[in-house]
Amino acid sequence: MRGPGGFVGKSIVYFAGARSLYRTHSLEKKIERLFNALGLRGSIEGGDRVAIKVHWGSEGNTRYLRPIYVKKIVELVKKAGGTPFIFESVGHGVSGPRATMRYLEVGFSHGYTPEFIGAPVVLGGGFRGNEVVEVDLPEGIQLKRVSLVREAVEADKLLVLTHFKGHSEAGFGGSVKNIGVGCTGKKGKTLVHFETLPYVDKELCDGCKLCLDTCDVKAISMMGETAYIDHGKCWGCWKCVAKCREHFSGDQSKTAIKATLLDSRSHQTRVAEHVAGLIKVLGRERVYAFNFLLDVTPLCDCPSFSDVPIVPDLGILASRDIVAVDQASLDLVNRAPGIPGSMIEEVDALEPGSEKFRFLYPYTDGGIHQLVAAEKLGVGSRDYELVVLEGDDVDILFNRLLRKIEALMKLKRKIPEKIFRGEREIRDLLSQERFSDAKERILEVMDELEIK
């Protein structure tokens, strides 16, 4: 059956749990198995430029995606014959480290250095956020044209590595938002947060002309006694807004150059439209998504602080469908129990099954609109099949067996030699990643020890 967006059947989302008790099931090994499950080892061709999109967090943030995971992906891309590079884009506006080339220094301070990662680390769209490609989107719901950073558009493959978490404007931040905001320049970021590019309120403009010299692209001119901004030239750098606010001593009620914030639903829709633009250029077959459900915080990684996670670490999801991987991530977070003492307790949403982000940010409807819009635009499907990696539960089962053996030894019970022989056989099977055989042998030894 063909569903919304033209998809046939269910999209596959692979899952690897967060628990790692042995070397064979470390998170790094699980990342490698997810990488291979997606077919990346065979689909990356020699010399492919593989763009890896990350969000390395603002200065002061401590819960961003750990660079050790990105380093592993880089190693795998190189092993497959690709040429990887890491990119993030500067933030909206002109002030603060995130909005300028200083953001690259923030990335370095958070461990995202070329020396550690093993690949170039760059700012997508340049340090000014204006090196973008305009993409026509006649099928757009609100926007008919979107602008995207060149690094994403011109890549042979795009790997999206996302710290899944809550978001006060979008409900939650997953792969859709990592692309729909993170792969845009200044202009795109303005249009996903505000109704339009900056405009002049003629009733408030006093004709000072300070904004004219501020504009790098000469998008501002005088029309009679008041300023006028040509949106065909403007790239949303926000310098004119900052200058106008400075002129009026920070009094926003008097500031003549304005922009109106979007409501959450429109914000989510425009995020999805930018993703649709990227998919239109790259094609779905060249985009791969990894969602890390680790340190699932109530807020995104843009603030200069981090709150405690709202649910336990759940694991890593990977898919070739950006929408499906976000829907699966959302479902897993909702099914998980909340962590007492976190923000989720403050909104009475500790129970498994509670819609965590809807409780946190009710005006966002839990962020579902971004997925509905993305599906409507043909980005992906919300209908998915969750495939747990083979053997993902084996180390937990083996640990249960070892604990039982240890307990019997402490009680000075006699343990048959065949039990220890079985333990050695299991370790050997695990080292060979023969997980099905290892699980079968674990269950046999458990039966011999009568572990229920």
Query: Could you tell me what percent of the chain has a pLDDT over 70?
Result: 98
Q: Residue 160: phi, psi to the nearest 5?
A: -105, 110
Of residues 267 and 433, more confidence is placed in: 267
Q: What is the pLDDT of residue 368?
A: 98
Instruction: Give the per-residue pLDDT at 445.
Output: 94
Axis crossing angle, helix 435-449 with helix 417-431, rounded to the nearest 10: 160
Q: Which residues contact 410 (CB under 8 A, 6 or more apart)?
A: none
The answer for residues whose C-beta is within 8 angstroms of residue 358's C-beta and 6 or more apart is: 171, 364, 365, 366
Three-state SS for 20? coil
> What pLDDT does residue 9 have?
75
Least confident of 80-89, 310-319, 329-338, 425-434: 425-434
Amino acid 451: pLDDT:
58
Q: Are 98 and 302 in contact (CB under 8 A)?
A: yes
Mean local confidence (pLDDT), 343-371: 98
Name the residue type at position 187.
K
Residue 386 has pLDDT above 50, yes or no: yes
Which pLDDT band, with edges at 50, 70 and 90, does 60 fall under? very high
At how many degrees (to 10) do helices 394-410 and 435-449 cross? 30
CATH class of the domain comprising 10-191+263-388 = alpha beta
Per-residue model confidence (pLDDT) at position 8? 59
CA 305 to chain centre: 18
Helix, strand or coil for residue 310? Answer: coil
Question: What rounded mean pLDDT belongs to the chain?
Answer: 93
Contacting residues for 14 by C-beta, under 8 A, at least 6 apart: 34, 37, 38, 317, 318, 319, 387, 388, 389
Rounded-to-integer distance, Cα 344 and Cα 265, Å: 22
Tell me the backbone φ, ψ of residue 286, rounded to 5 degrees: -105, 10
At 452, the pLDDT band (50, 70, 90 cuts) reads very low
User: Would you list the domain boundaries of the chain?
Assistant: 10-191+263-388, 200-258, 394-449
Looking at per-residue pLDDT, the higher value among 234 and 393 belongs to 234
In this prediction, residues 281-305 reach a mean pLDDT of: 97
Q: Which residue has the tokens 């790259």?
A: 282
Question: Tokens for 91?
Answer: 């933030």
Q: How confident is the model at residue 4 (pLDDT cuts 50, 70, 90)?
A: very low
Q: Which CATH architecture has domain 200-258?
A: 2-Layer Sandwich (3.30)
Give the tens place of pLDDT for each residue, 197-238: 999 999 999 999 999 999 999 999 999 999 999 999 998 888
% pLDDT > 90, the chain: 83
Q: Residue 367 carries which side chain, given as an amino acid letter?
A: G
pLDDT of residue 412: 84
The model's confidence at residue 393, banded by pLDDT at 50, 70 and 90, is: confident
Going from the C-alpha of 36 to that of each of 41, 80, 288, the distances in angstroms are 6, 10, 12
Interhelix angle 368-376/264-282, nearest 10 degrees: 40
Residue 283 backbone class (left: φ over 0; alpha: ψ -120 to 50; beta: rest): left
Question: What sign results for the dihedral spanned by CA atoms 25, 31, 32, 34?
Answer: positive
